Copies of this chain bind each other. A is one copy, B any other.
Amino acid sequence: MGEAEKVKVIFQPSGRRDLVEKGITIIEASRRLGVDIETLCGEKKVCGKCKVRVEEGFFEKFGIRSSLAHTSEWQEEEEKFISPEEREKGYRLACCAKVEGDLLIFVPEESRAGKQVVSKAARQIDIQWNPAVRYYYVELTEPSFHDPTGDFERLREELERKYGLTELDVDYLTLKELPVLLRKSGFKVTVAVWMGKEIIRVLPGQVKDCYGLAVDVGTTTVAAYLCNISTTEVIDTVSMMNPQCKYGEDVMSRITFHMMHQDGLERMSDDIIEGLNTLIKQACEGTHPPKKKGKEKATQEHSAEDDKDYLCLEPEDIVDMTLVGNTAMHHILLKLNPEYVGLAPFPPVIHKSLDIKARDLGVNINKSSYVHILPNEAGFVGADNVGVLIAEEPYKNEEMCLIIDIGTNGELVLGNKDKLISSSCATGPALEGAQITFGMRAAPGAIERIKIDPETHEVDYKVIGREAWKSYSKPEEMQTRGICGSGILDLLAELYRAGVILKSGRFNPKQKSKRFRKNPENGQPEFVIAWANETSIKKDVVVTQKDVRQIQLAKGALYCGCKLMMRRMGIEKVDKVKIAGAFGTHVDREKALIMGLFPDCPVENIIAVGNAAGDGARAALLNIEKRNEANWVARNVEYIELTVEKDFQQQFMEAMQIPHMTDKFPHLRGLVPDEILNQK
């Protein structure tokens, strides 16, 4: 059999490349090269998520000429998702366009698929460049009898002369390498300087790009952004479940684990540190050429020579790292006793930011580097919230902004340039799937999106691990297992909007859907989301009256928190609502408004800011002013304990109704049928 004709394909920004058979789709090619491209509909050409850009021109570095003409014909389905301007620029849907010749393909950030279910992709944020670690190149004169000055002073004097860096110190481990390195490099070196005061790395020759990692340690998810500090570009996002989950789902159960086990803190800390090291390794491996397995051996063209074009980063190339997390995660990671954070009056061990040598933490990056840990506001509002604040900067604006960070705990900040108050509310784990009959973690088989037809009460949904929605799939393809956090948010809003449940949360007894029934065993009303034949557990996935109550409790806590804070602030409405946090990237702003997660606000002023805590970590990585800002804001946000407000119970009860017992929601007009909205 004759071999198929092969052409060269290169994906940017990862730089991955290889020869592929002519005629396969770009999506197929991306899979073979280990490049992840989003494809929600499962290549049905209906979601438009797999947009890529074909670069035109001759690329000398790679020795190829790439052209749109090297792709198959334009398809009708692409029209819907790609504007004429975009088409002009070379955009195609990767599921439509076939590879017909050499191609250099750029995958935009929004088309890159997270490699993990728990991925928190990086948002485009505007950060001024003023990093803690900078590279400086110097050429030194060699020692002589007339100038026998020592190596370090020789280096220091030149750095002062050329760059005005005065009084530089050096980390001991970097100093150890200096003499041999200077001589091996002919006294021409690049020096990494931390905060303008300490030399933390010396590299032979001239090196321009330096790399850092911004990490958000969530109770459930850990996300790390590998950044080019010199260009501020995000190179990759890697994430994982917090390995501490095995000790307990939420903050309090982790604290309890520490109190019940003498080595509990040590174990939980070691686990997260090991987790960080795994992420570091992963992030670095992503910059290497893909490893070939069995049959797919490296072709002759893919030689070691080619590998030079990959970044090929190693952990020691990461010279700076920033870290955010809630106060408990912060304490546990640092092996700071978290006991008192869980005990009234909840004082943290430390508020201010810390710069700890990576080696003291056991974090495997450049051995002389520091890990910068952002400051905590209070026992229940930690460095993660500070991260959100420095990313969103509510203290720089006139407008009154409400920021809701929904994780395992709800963290709220309200204010503007004049005043900021923060609080936390016990949303409980319901919004993350716990305490719900078919609730589960965000994992393959979990329902993450739901739509309920107001007429037929038919349900459409999507599960994690499968791109295509149920309506595009055969029932047996769904392999549904339960409902995760973002699915639960959709659920309450959709049940209410479709009239399946009433304002009070009770199931509407008058509904006609065959999905509504009394449980044959306990007689309780329930609504079927997925029929048994669509599941891998072989039973109907339902939502019960009790489940609805649990979700109402969570949303009520959050709404009540928002309202009490607004009262404290003396305001009737907010100008802007920002939703951040664990499902910040998944949340549907309309549905959040419909279910009454927060007081009324024009939909266009509700903004999902994704993982803003992680953005804050990135901001602090790239700009030291943000670190100062973080310390300032951590001590200037006033923390308010809401549960001690005297009408808290009454407020909470009213907030449990959907969207609220008495508050008006003018901005829901049009989103929810009037008869639904007007019900008593």
Contact = CB atoms under 8 A, between A and B. Distances in A.
Interface of A: 143-145, 147-154, 170, 172-173, 175-176, 178-180, 183, 334-337, 339-340, 344-352, 354, 356-357, 359-361, 376, 378-379, 639, 641, 644
A361 B173 CA distance: 10
Contacts of A144: 345
B335 A150 contact: no
B360 A179 contact: no
B349 A151 contact: yes
Given A151-B347, A152-B351, A153-B350, 10 more contacts: A147-B345, A150-B349, A151-B348, A153-B351, A153-B352, A172-B360, A175-B334, A176-B336, A179-B336, A359-B360
8 contacts: A148-B378, A151-B349, A172-B354, A175-B334, A175-B336, A179-B336, A179-B337, A179-B339
A334 B361 CA distance: 22
Contact of A150 (B175, B180, B376): B376
A491 B180 CA distance: 45
A347 B172 contact: no
A337 B143 CA distance: 16
B179 A351 contact: no
Contact of A350 (B150, B347, B350, B361): B150
Contacts of A350: 150-153, 170, 175, 178
A93 to B, nearest CB: 51
Contacts of A344: 145
B145 A349 contact: no
A175 B361 CA distance: 13
A334 to B, nearest CB: 7
Contacts of A183: 340
A35 to B, nearest CB: 40
A645 B359 CA distance: 49
Contact of A352 (B152, B176, B334): B152
Contact of A347 (B143, B336, B340, B351): B143
A641 B147 CA distance: 12
Contacts of A639: 148
Nearest to A173: B360
Contacts of A179: 336-337, 339-340, 349
Contacts of A172: 334, 354, 356-357, 360-361
A527 to B, nearest CB: 43
A566 B336 CA distance: 61
A175 B173 CA distance: 23
Contact of A337 (B154, B173, B180, B335): B180
A87 to B, nearest CB: 55
A324 B170 CA distance: 19
A143 B376 CA distance: 16
A23 B340 CA distance: 62
Given A175-B336, A180-B337, A337-B180, A143 B345 contact: yes
Contacts of A354: 172, 175
B148 A347 contact: yes
A178 B348 CA distance: 11
Nearest to A337: B179
Nearest to A180: B337
B173 A346 contact: no
Contacts of A340: 143, 151, 179, 183
Given A145-B641, A641-B145, A178 B360 contact: no
Nearest to A376: B150
A498 to B, nearest CB: 45
Contacts of A346: 148
Given A347-B143, A350-B175, A148 B335 contact: no
Nearest to A359: B360
Nearest to A146: B345
Nearest to A347: B143
A158 to B, nearest CB: 14
A641 B148 CA distance: 11
A150 B347 contact: yes
B145 A347 contact: no
Nearest to A145: B345
Contacts of A376: 150
Contacts of A357: 172
A337 B344 CA distance: 54
10 closest residue pairs by CB, A with B: A152-B350, A148-B345, A143-B347, A150-B348, A179-B337, A145-B345, A150-B351, A172-B356, A179-B349, A148-B347
Nearest to A354: B172
A221 B202 CA distance: 35
Contacts of A360: 172-173, 359
A334 B179 CA distance: 13
Q: Which of A147, A152, A170, A183 has the most B CB atoms < 10 Å from its CB? A: A152
Contact of A149 (B147, B150, B153, B351): B351
A516 to B, nearest CB: 47
B176 A335 contact: yes
A641 B146 CA distance: 10
A47 to B, nearest CB: 47
Contacts of A378: 148
A371 to B, nearest CB: 10
